[in-house]
Structures are given as structure tokens and as C-alpha cells.
Amino acid sequence: MMELVCPAGTPASLKVAVDAGADSVYCGFRNETNARNFPGLNFSTKEMEEGIAYANANGSKVLVAINTFPTAGNEQLWRDHIDIVARCKAHAVILCDISLLEYARTKHPELRRHLSVQASASNPDSINWYVNTFGVSRVVLPRVMAMDQIAYINEHTTAELETFVYGGLCVMAEGRCSLSSYATGKSPNMQGVCSPASHVEYIEEGSELVSKLGEFTINRFGKTEPAGYPTLCKGRFVTGDEEENISYLFEDPISLNVSEMLPNFAKAGVKALKIEGRQRSKAYVKAVVQAFKQAVQEVENGETPTLDLTALSEGQRETQGAFKKGWK
Amino acid sequence: MPNTNLIPPFSPILIAGLALKHIPISLLQPLFSKAMTIMSERHERVFECLEDVGSPSYIINPTDLPFFFILETKPASLTLFKSSEIDTQTADARITGSFALLIDLLEGKIDGDAVFFSRDLIVEGDTEAVLALRNAIDGNDIDVFSQMFEPLGGSLQGVAQGVTSTVGGLLNKAGENMSIIKDSINYDLIKNMDSQNSLIKKMQEQLATLMKEHRQNKRKDKKKDEKKE
């Protein structure tokens, strides 16, 4: 059966995910060592120890994300947290930076190393280099790949493959996106924040909701139009010379949901299914984990699951993204 | 232009709110103050998390009640004001929604992002402060009603919680009836809106065609001019 990897932004969410049947839970520390460094979120060292103990006692595993790139002269913070992960006996550490992969390999060879989506490894040569050089056991694939590409990679690597199946959708090559950095000076790659809340402003103008990021107006939602996150990639842009040509350019505000394609993931050799959303609430974690747990069981029974999670989705819309490529 | 998203939902709480309008705030304040004291003692972690973002203050504005709250987080306090005074008060951030939605958020029963996407929750001001509050609250298991009624003490608290549970059930049933009444009241309005919407859609399509033609003509003219040159 495919492994269900679930998000936890707080100890309360971790408990909810474990109780809802998560096979694995991924989480991070309360600092810039992980790509969801939002205020009030994440784990202290003590909370991480307690969370891992709770998961282990209840048949779940904890994967700790240290998936940002260390800033020059400040590398020790990232290394110290890898030491903590090893000491807490987490199941694995999720890394993207090659210096940290080497550090983990030499200092904690017994600790499983997963390659974060932030490394953006998307072909067998790249993945096999991480496997052979740093002993990576699992690779989280970028959300820009088609199903036949995933199957091809699986045939040409020994690494376990993990793919996103639900939640926020990054349309760029992860780890290399500089849109947030361009608008705010902060990015998920270095500071662990995409569109940091400190730079976001929501303004109610009449019945319209205007979202701003830094100096940029990202979007303007009509009265009954569902809203989305204030990220540049999901903003509306003026194209060409015509002022009235305002439209989404990179991607609409929309969430990934490939529940219907789970049998294809199994066929392609995917080992683990990942749910995005460490920044979401425990109510979200409970609802999505329970739904996907049942869906994975349905796949095991030879059925094709269909999950409608629109109410929880960004912009209240869902897509199968690049997994089901409808364009050339 | 008034913000139509601030119109409260037609609900039993709205009806109860109309009744509460006649009760002086000074009578309600002690109950909320005591509940806040209990919450700050029991959920110290919530307020510690908020220190990282400078212990902000919040206006919590339930659209279906005749009053709103100002939540100060250091030291923790909750002060009631009449709704009519909302424009005279300031805070770092303002959070607006129906009372039931705000309570469900506080108790971690619903997802804050989802109700933001659906536009049932409005956030204004310091977004970082709002996010920090949401995450801090969600990381704790808060039971609002037990804390509201704890000041009443042992046996009375039990009675009050029993009443709350019964009232909760009745409110749910009343809520179902309300939707029937609401649909009935809105029937003609919805019918009119449907026909207006289809008219607007037709006009939008016509406008899009006209604009397309206009752009094509502009391009043609531009090409002609270039040839002449």
C-alpha cells in the first residue's frame, strides 16, 4: 500500500494527523531551516521530541524538513538542527542543500535522508547522483511532472519516489523560484517564507477584496469570487499594451487534487503520497488525511477514488496540474 | 460604497443579537473579562507565541452581534464595545465574520484559510499578526463555552454547559428552519438576480466581441500605417 505523508505545522496538528491514520508526518523547526517559516507555526526542540515519541507510539513516522539553503556564515544553525533530528530519532530528515546532505551522510549515516522537492531533481541522472553521492533513500518529485515521466524515472532509479497529491500548487521549479524574493526580499529558499505575511496586505474596497504583496497589487477579487493566497505566481497581470488584458499568467488560485489518479501513481511505482499544507489548520489536516487514507484503501481494493475537497482548496477550485498534461 | 460582505448572515444568532442590543455592555463585560483571565492562564502558550510578533491587538467583529471586542494580548484583555463605535476604535488588525464562524475558528473546528477563500472571513490590517494569532490558537485545544461558564462555578457551570448543549442543538435546528425562511424571503430576489445575471452575461459577451473587433481594427490600422511609411 502507498504511504500517506501528511503535514503538521503544530504539535496539535501532528497529533490529529497521527490519529487520522497518517503513515508519516512531516514537520519543521520554528526557524528559517524549513520552507514554512511562518509566525506561530512549527516545533521547538522539546515539541519535536514529544511529537516523534507520540507518532512512534502510535505507529506513525516523523520526517523532519530542513529544506532551505543555509545562508553564508550561518550554516551552523542548519547543522545543529540535523543533529537534533538524529538525536530525536526521527525516521528521516528531508534536505535539499548538498552541503547539508554531505553533513548528514558523514555525521549521522544511520539517519535516513530524503531529497526535498526544493532540490528540484526531475530526471534519473540528477536523482541517481543524489543517491550515489549522498545515499538518498527517497526523492520528493517536483509538481511539474507528467505521469509518464514519473514512471520513466521509477524505472531508472533505485530511490523511492514521493509525489504531491493534494494542496497548494507551486508551478515553478521549486527551490529556484525568486518571485517572492523579487517582491519582498524574502523567499522560501533562504528564509523559508513565500510571500511573507509581514509584506501582505488585504484591503476591502467596497465589495472587492484587494490583496497586495510588498508594493504590488496581486489580485482583486469580486464580491462572490473565492479568494486565493497572495503569491505573485497566482496574481493577475496586465499583458501587452492593452490595459483591459488583465488575466492570470502563471497559474490561477487553485489547489492540486489528483485523488482520481491514485491508481496511476501506484502503477507508476510511486512509493509515497504527500499532502501539502503545514501552514493549514488541524481541521484541514484531519479532513484531508481521513479522506486520502480512505482513498488509498480504495486503490488497494482496485477502486478509483474521487475526493471532492473543493471547500478546502485555494480559490475553491481544484486541478490535476501537470500530472495530467492537457497541453504540449 | 458599503462593504456588502459585512452584511451578517440570517441566523438564530442574528435574532439573539437583536435581543442583546438592549442589554447594557457593562452587564456582559465581567463575564468576558473573567473568561479571558481563565483563557490567558490556561493557554499561556497562545500569548507567548504572539510576543514574537510584538503582542498585537485585534478588533474581533462578529457581524451578527450588536457589539465587537478588542483583544489585547499583553496583558491579555477582552473589552466589549457597541458596534456603532467600530470606526472610533483602532487595533493592529481586524477580524470579521459571523459569531459562529469565529467561535469555530477559536475551537479549531474549521480551517481559517478555507473560510478566507470562501470570503466568509475578512482580515484587515497587520496580516502577520492575524496569521500568528490563527496559528497560535490552532496549536491549542480551546473550549470556549467551558471557559465562558467557568466563572459561574461548580454546579452552576454544569447546569450552564447543559443549557449550552441544549441551546446548541436548538440553534442547529433553528438554523435549518432559518434557511427555509431565508430562501422563502429571498425567492423573488433570487429570481430577479438570475435573470439580471444572464442579461449581464450576454452584455459581457457582446462587449468582449466589440473589444476584440476594436483591437483587430487597431492592429489593421497600425499595419496600414506601417506600410504607408
Using the structure block, give the residue that is written with the C-alpha cell 468582449.
Answer: B208
Nearest CA in chain B to A211: B124
In the structure, what pLDDT confidence band is assigned to residue A231 with cuts at 50, 70 and 90? very high
Q: What is the pLDDT of residues A20-52, one digit of tens each?
A: 999 999 999 999 999 999 988 999 999 999 999
Residue length of chain A: 328
ipTM tops the 0.85 cut: yes
pLDDT at B180 over 80: no
pLDDT score, position B142: 83
Among residues A275, A259, A3, A264, the alpha carbon closest in space to that of A112 is found at A3
Nearest CA in chain A to B110: A283
Domain ranges of chain B: 4-152
pLDDT at B161 over 70: no
For the domain covering A3-169+254-324, report its CATH number.
3.20.20.70
The mean of the pLDDT values for chain A is: 93
Distance separating alpha carbons of residues A81 and A64, to the nearest angstrom: 10
In the structure, what pLDDT confidence band is assigned to residue B1 with cuts at 50, 70 and 90? very low
Give the angle A32-A33-A35 at the CA atoms, nearest 5°. 75
- Joined grid coordinates for residue B214: 476594436
pLDDT at B221 over 90: no
Q: What is the pLDDT of residues A257-294, one digit of tens each?
A: 999 999 999 999 999 999 999 999 999 999 999 999 99
Residues of B in contact with A196 (CB under 8 A): 128
- Joined grid coordinates for residue B73: 494580548
| B4-152: CATH, from 3.30.460.80, 3.30.1050.10, 3.40.50.300, 3.40.50.2300 | 3.30.1050.10
Q: Is the model more confident about A283 or about A143? A: A283
Residues of B in contact with A226 (CB under 8 A): 117-119
Average pLDDT of the residues in B180-195: 64
Q: Is the CB of residue B112 less than 8 Å from the CB of residue B105?
A: yes
The mean of the pLDDT values for chain B is: 81
Q: Is the model more confident about A238 or about A312? A: A312
Distance from the Cα of B216 to chain A's closest Cα (Å) equals 12
Distance from the Cα of A109 to chain B's closest Cα (Å) equals 33
- Joined grid coordinates for residue B116: 478566507
pLDDT score, position B148: 64
Residues of B in contact with A208 (CB under 8 A): none
- Joined grid coordinates for residue B83: 458596534
Q: What is the pLDDT of residues A195-208, one digit of tens each?
A: 999 999 999 998 89
Nearest CA in chain B to A12: B139
